[in-house]
Structure 1
């Protein structure tokens, strides 16, 4: 994909594929026979859909960063480097809107919205607080239950208890549906997370908890708030089966989530996945400099070489993607991936322009402030 010096971290601007890391990436696909089977079941179209989702997430964030530089918005919460944790997980679910599985994203998982079917324009309208946004301009936490997305909550970890409610409803109604939510490494220190894990385990709820271990809680490094090096054993404390996934490997996240969701549907109770990744920027666009000072440069270099989009792109370049025409496989595949990127760029631009046009709509009357609060309906 194209790199943007004004918006990408420097490690991505200068990114080049590393042969050794690519071999590790391919080996990860075959490391677990059960995950290998799930990945083998992906069609070329499904692989391209995953790639499209990663691009949509990254380029959507870049569009928001551009708006910050232009003064359109004051700041944005981005997921640069963490896209695979969201996209891989969502694509592993039953995405049939209100009839399928339901997800509860953190703000850094906003890509779950467009991958679950929420129109991309709603992301930009929500940031602009336009009256035609899903929240009517009242909140920047995007979600839409019609598409199976429960909006995030500012208080991290609180959403995990809310998602238990959906999972409990699925179990009571005998539906083969699954709830899924992400919990940051820092959010595991909040009481709500532990209440959610214990409650889900005691009632054998069909819910998947993904511990999104991005090495930092706001500005607190993992080694400053967590004793163990990771969260691979966290589920054992509650009797919850656990898996570990490479959070920068979209196929590994996809396969681990597929297996976890299948276990939930079969009555196996809650499942926990630790996805190890890294936040390549600040908590938001306003503190990138502070974030870069929090870690040693070598850590950014280490994770920068493992760009989830660049790595997956290289993996796809050697696959049989079913593209028509003659020519060398890699050249043909890269051309097809470039076409997908141009399509996503156009999609992002059209959505952003449509959202900017929404600013011309008159704000909602003050009397509507209570609509949708505590079930209150319009008079």
Structure 2
């Protein structure tokens, strides 16, 4: 895809596929026969839909960074480098409108879950701009809309875990063939709500998937500073199914989640998955310099070579999908995001919240 010198991480500016890493991605897929079977069952339309989702997620974040740099917003929480950890799992769920649509509960940097569940990209931008015609009616930039199966994030990290477990309990009680999913940062795993929510789901064998999005840092706390041991041991600790997937490989992410969803629909309870990935920036756009001072440049360089968009493009080419096909998709998605941004900016001009709306839809 096109690289943007002003907005992309510097490691992405002159990105080229490392043959050894492309080979490693392919070996990652073939190493697990069950996951490989899932991936080989995907048709070209589904493979390209995954590609469009990765691009939409990346270009959404680039637009937000453009807005920060031009003063439209003050800061943004981006998921650059982690897109596959969001897009792969969401595509493994039931996303079409209907009574059997699954429910996702993203963190703020899993915004890709919103548009891949069907939310208009313009509505996601409106949430950042605080317009009255946005999903939260101007109140909050934590984006979601249950009409699309998206539970908005809760600012208190970890607290969404018991909420999505409660939603999964409702599926079970009503006999619905539906699954809930949420992502938890490595830092959020230290909260009481995280442990209580997973334990609750495990005891009641609820149809829910938890993904620990291990991007190596929680705000300013490096993973090496935690006293938690390996996340790989955690599923057994709770008595649930589990596994690890490559958070920069959208196909591995898809397959691991698809198997977890099948496991849940069969009545076998939760799955706790661990996604190994890396955040190519700060906690938000305001502290990117601080984030880079926490780690050696070599770490950013290593993860920069594993750009999930670029690696998937290389895999698609090896599968015989031409560059011109991907360029057509990129042009379409880019136009979609640009149009959504213009639409949201127009809302800021003519659809700001009324002051008295601050006390509407408030419950005590």
TM-score (norm 2): 0.98
Q: 1:160: which partner in 2?
A: 161
Q: 1:289: which partner in 2?
A: 289
The alpha-carbon deviation at position 373 of structure 1 amounts to: 2.9
Q: Secondary structure at the match of 1:209?
A: strand
State the Cα deviation string for residues 65-109 of structure 1 (Å, max 9, x = none).
000000000000000000000000000001134631000000010
Q: 1:324: which partner in 2?
A: none
State the Cα deviation string for residues 97-145 of structure 1 (Å, max 9, x = none).
4631000000010110000000010111111101111111011001010
CA contact (8 A) 1:204 1:268 kept: yes
State the Cα deviation string for residues 309-347 of structure 1 (Å, max 9, x = none).
0000000012244xxxxxxxxxxx101101111111100
Q: 1:245: which partner in 2?
A: 245
State the Cα deviation string for residues 147-187 of structure 1 (Å, max 9, x = none).
10000011111001110111000000111100000011000
Structure 2 CA distance, aligned partners of 1:31 and 1:299? Answer: 25
Structure 1 CA distance, aligned partners of 2:185 and 2:355? Answer: 36
Structure 2 gap ranges (5+): none
1:352 is aligned, of 315, 318, 341, to: 341
Structure 1 CA distance, aligned partners of 2:160 and 2:122? Answer: 24
Indicate the RMSD between aligned Cα atoms, in angstroms: 1.1
What is the aligned length? 363
The alpha-carbon deviation at position 238 of structure 1 amounts to: 1.0
Q: Secondary structure at the match of 2:350?
A: coil
Q: 1:329: which partner in 2?
A: none
CA contact (8 A) 2:158 2:193 kept: yes
Q: 5 Å matches for 1:358-369?
A: 358-369=347-358
**Structure 1 residues 280 and 362, CA gap change in structure 2 (3 angstroms):** closer
Q: Secondary structure at the match of 2:198?
A: helix
Q: 2:11: which partner in 1?
A: 11
Q: Please list every run of at least 4 consecutive aligned residues from structure 1 whose deviation after the TM superposition is greater than 4 angstroms.
A: none
The alpha-carbon deviation at position 370 of structure 1 amounts to: 3.3
The alpha-carbon deviation at position 191 of structure 1 amounts to: 0.7
Q: Secondary structure at the match of 1:164?
A: helix
Q: 1:132: which partner in 2?
A: 133
Q: 5 Å matches for 1:214-233?
A: 214-228=215-229, 230-233=230-233
Structure 1 gap ranges (5+): 322-332
Q: Secondary structure at the match of 2:137?
A: coil
State the Cα deviation string for residues 273-326 of structure 1 (Å, max 9, x = none).
0000000000000000000001111111111110000000000012244xxxxx
